[in-house]
C-alpha cells in the first residue's frame, strides 16, 4: 500500500496525482529519508507491499544498491545546494527479474510555506533511445531526440545498432569493434539494411541516414550502466 506523507506540507491533490500515476514517484527529506513512494516505484525496485521504507535511507534498503553510487548521491545533494531541478539518465538493472532499463530521473526541490527546502521529489520516466553523441564525444547532450526508426521497417536490434553507428561514418571494422561483432556480421547487417531501406549503395545509405537523422539516436544496449547528469 502506498504511504501518505504530511498533508499540511504537500497537497492531497499532488499526492493523488502521484498515487494514480503509472510512472515512479518518490519523495525524500533533506536527510535523504523516504517520505513517500508510489506503487509504480515499488514495482520498479520490486519492493513487496508489506515492507515499509518510510523513514529509511537508500543505505538501509538492500534492493536499491544502484542508488548508493556516488554520482547518484551527488545529484541529490546538488538539488539541496542549488535549489533547482536536476535531471539525469539512470541506466540500471533495477531488479533481477527485469533486464537493464533506462530512465530519465527528474529531482525537484520542494519548499514549505516559509519557502524553505524540506524535501526532494523524484520522477522516473522510461526512455529507450539516447543521442549517440555520448558515445562519439563522450558526453550527454542537453536535449535528447526521441525519434525512433520507422516502425514499419522491420530491423533487428543489431541492424539498428549498426545503422546508428554507420550514420556517424564509422567503418564496418569500427562498428564491429564497438558492438563486439565479427566484421562479416556487420557487412551482412549493412547489406540487409540497404535492402530494407531500398538503398543501392552505402553512399546512398549514408545520405538516407543524414536525411532521417539516425545519428541522433542510439540503441539502449550501448548505454553505459550508472547515473549520467543531463546539463
Average model confidence (pLDDT) for the chain?
A: 80
Q: Which domains does the chain have, with CATH numbers?
A: 12-127 (3.30.450.20), 149-221 (1.10.10.10)
Q: What is the mean pLDDT of residues 172-183?
A: 88
For the chain, what percent of residues have pLDDT higher than 90? Answer: 38
Contacts of 112 (CB under 8 A, 6+ apart): 9, 118
What is the per-residue pLDDT for 132?
A: 42
What is the per-residue pLDDT for 7?
A: 45
The highest-confidence range among 2-6, 34-38, 66-70, by mean pLDDT, is 34-38
Q: What is the mean pLDDT of residues 25-35?
A: 94
The residue that leads in pLDDT, 144 or 74, is 74
pLDDT band with cut points at 50, 70 and 90 for residue 186:
very high
What is the per-residue pLDDT for 66?
A: 67
What is the per-residue pLDDT for 170?
A: 84
Whole-model pTM: value is 0.63
What cell numbers appear for 156 in the block? 533487428
What is the per-residue pLDDT for 222?
A: 61
What is the per-residue pLDDT for 215?
A: 67
CB 30 within 8 A of CB 80: yes
Crossing angle between the packed helical segments 202-212 and 157-166, to the nearest 10 degrees: 90
The residue that leads in pLDDT, 125 or 131, is 125
Strand order in the sheet with 101-111: 34-37, 25-29, 117-127, 101-111, 86-92, 226-230
Amino acid at each position: 500500500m502506498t504511504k501518505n506523507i504530511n498533508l499540511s506540507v504537500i497537497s492531497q491533490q499532488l499526492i493523488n496525482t502521484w498515487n494514480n500515476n503509472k510512472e515512479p514517484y518518490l519523495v525524500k527529506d533533506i536527510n535523504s529519508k523516504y517520505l513517500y513512494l508510489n506503487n509504480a516505484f515499488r514495482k520498479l525496485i520490486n519492493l513487496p507491499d508489506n515492507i515499509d521504507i518510510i523513514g529509511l535511507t537508500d543505505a538501509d534498503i538492500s534492493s536499491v544498491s544502484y542508488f548508493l553510487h556516488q554520482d547518484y548521491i551527488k545529484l541529490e545533494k546538488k538539488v539541496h545546494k542549488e535549489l533547482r531541478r536536476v535531471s539525469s539518465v539512470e541506466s540500471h538493472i533495477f531488479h533481477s527479474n527485469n533486464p537493464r532499463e533506462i530512465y530519465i530521473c527528474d529531482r525537484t526541490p520542494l519548499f514549505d510555506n516559509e519557502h524553505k527546502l524540506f524535501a526532494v521529489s523524484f520522477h522516473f520516466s522510461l526512455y529507450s533511445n539516447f543521442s549517440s553523441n555520448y558515445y562519439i564525444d563522450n558526453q550527454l547532450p542537453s536535449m535528447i531526440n526521441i525519434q525512433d526508426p520507422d516502425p514499419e521497417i522491420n530491423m533487428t536490434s543489431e541492424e539498428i545498432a549498426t545503422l546508428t553507428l554507420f550514420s556517424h561514418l564509422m567503418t564496418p571494422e569500427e562498428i564491429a569493434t564497438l558492438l563486439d561483432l565479427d566484421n562479416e556480421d556487420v557487412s551482412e547487417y549493412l547489406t540487409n539494411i540497404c535492402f530494407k531501406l531500398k538503398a543501392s549503395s552505402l553512399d546512398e545509405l549514408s545520405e538516407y541516414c543524414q536525411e532521417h537523422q539516425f545519428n541522433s539516436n542510439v540503441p539502449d544496449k550501448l548505454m553505459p550502466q550508472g547515473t549520467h547528469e543531463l546539463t
